[in-house]
Amino acid sequence: MGDIKVNKKRLKTTVEGTRPVGDARLTVKGRKGLLSIGYEVLVETPGEKPLKINGSYMKVRMYMERDERAKEGVGLLEEVAGKILDPKRSLTENFDKKQLSCLGVLMGGEGVLEDIVHSTDLETSQVSKAVMDLQATGLVCRCEKKGELPRRYTLTETGKQITELLRREEDFLKIKRGLKRRKGNGSQHKIFLNENELLCLVLLDKGPKTTKEIAEITGQKQEETVKNMKTLESWGIAERGERLSDKNWKWTITATGEHHIEVLMEDEKFQEARERLKQETTDPTRRFSKYFKEGELLCLAVLVKGPKTVKEIAEATGLEESDVFNKLNVLSSGGMLTQEGKGEDCKYTIDERGQNYIEWLLKEEKFQEIQKKVKPD
């Protein structure tokens, strides 16, 4: 056993262990921040150059096992790592209740001290001290323009990562559920959510959507939609849910996103985004057929009549079976079709999402012309 010392300061933990190894003295240090862990090994032998090893646990252990002087200290490294990686210690234990309350409020977007005081029922002096502590640890920063008053605070990138981890712990969720809704009309959110990001947020409030679905419904380019969704993801507003394929999944709204919507309900820009989305999805001149190739529309025109196999669709459309199979794979990967059975007996059916598109396609002249090209049953 080695001599182990543990030092916990603010949100960092340092563990240091020492042990004699023959004529040498071995020192192992482990440092744990909120998002990273690093180790340092020092072997001091009289008359020889000290051996230093720095890095992750696996890297340090690998080098120690290769060195005659250091390999006897692997057990000490394991002891230090055991103190650093305490599985019983939750992330919330790194903060006091006031700091957790402040983080919970700032998850909803930037704000002034008055916002936090109102939401937490803490004294202004208590909030001020908690925010200063969070600033010192790099989780919160000021974001008002130079010379502007009052001071405004927001989560840093590290702060956003930490609050996303905290959301998984019940102790933090209890504190967050006890917070009051902010005063005002949610104007604090206008600074970091632009019009298209608001549009994506409104759409996600209606249910999970893929990137393609969001792009199609909002009228944005897919590359632009990807960028907007990554922005919402970085703020902890949206997250990747059900995976449909390697590069296709459904976006869902997080608890943070739900909080944003609650606060933004009275916001003028948010209401404009909701109205715009309503117009986009009810506009009679909107053409959904432009999002599909003719072969895909032919397959849909056959499937409107009911479940069909690849062979049946090929016979009805005049397409090659291999071509039909590829078209069906595209439609399935977009979440429009479901499959039942295997091999040649596998039947394809338009699912709920596909039915929503069919309702609009049936009203379009182009799709009606496509239907005429399909052989009757």
CB 221 within 8 A of CB 291: no
Strand pairing of 248-253 and 337-340? unpaired
The matching CATH number, chosen from 1.10.10.10, 3.40.50.1820, 1.10.760.10, 1.20.120.1200, for 189-282 is 1.10.10.10
CB 182 within 8 A of CB 263: yes
**How high is the pLDDT of residue 173?**
84
Q: How far is CA 102 from CA 2, 11, 162, 164, in A?
A: 40, 16, 13, 14
Determine the topology of domain 92-180 in CATH.
Arc Repressor Mutant, subunit A (1.10.10)
* Number of neighbouring beta carbons within 10 Å of residue 80: 27
- Structural domain boundaries in the chain: 3-84, 92-180, 189-282, 289-373
**How high is the pLDDT of residue 192?**
55
Output the tens digit of pLDDT for each of the chain's 377 residues: 457 777 766 567 788 988 888 888 889 998 877 666 788 999 898 888 888 888 877 778 888 888 887 888 888 888 888 777 655 567 777 788 898 899 988 887 788 888 788 888 888 888 888 888 888 878 899 887 766 667 788 888 878 877 877 877 888 888 888 887 655 444 444 435 678 888 888 888 877 888 888 887 777 788 888 888 888 887 777 888 777 776 677 888 876 677 677 767 767 777 777 777 766 555 444 555 566 788 888 999 999 989 999 999 999 999 998 889 888 888 887 678 888 888 888 899 988 777 877 877 887 888 888 888 888 87
What 175-181 contacts at long range (C-beta under 8 Å, 24+ apart), as own/partner pairs, is 175/97, 175/100, 175/101, 175/104, 176/104, 176/107, 176/255, 179/101, 179/104, 179/105, 179/119, 179/120, 180/118, 180/119, 180/120, 180/121, 181/119, 181/262, 181/263
User: Smallest Cα–Cα separation from 196: which of 225, 168, 163, 170?
Assistant: 225
**How high is the pLDDT of residue 309?**
92
Please state the three-class secondary structure of the chain as a single string: CCEEEEEEECCEEEEEEEEEECCEEEEEEEEECCCCEEEEEEEECCCCCCEEEEECHHHHHHHHHHCCCCHHHHHHHHHHHHHHCCCCCCHHHHCCHHHHHHHHHHCCCCEEHHHHHHHHCCCHHHHHHHHHHHHHCCCEEECCCCCCCCCEEEECHHHHHHHHHHCCCHHHHHHHHCCCCCCCCCHHHCCCCCHHHHHHHHHHCCCCEEHHHHHHHHCCCHHHHHHHHHHHHHCCCEEEEEEEECCEEEEEECHHHHHHHHHHCCCHHHHHHHHHHHHHHHCCCCCCHHHCCHHHHHHHHHHCCCCECHHHHHHHHCCCHHHHHHHHHHHHHCCCEEEECCHHHCEEEECHHHHHHHHHHCCCHHHHHHHHHCCCC
CATH number of 289-373: 1.10.10.10
Q: What is the pTM (predicted TM-score) of this model? A: 0.39
Domain 92-180 and domain 189-282, same fold? Reply is: yes
Separation of first and last alpha carbons in the chain: 81
**How high is the pLDDT of residue 10?**
58
User: Smallest Cα–Cα separation from 200: which of 233, 161, 160, 178?
Assistant: 233
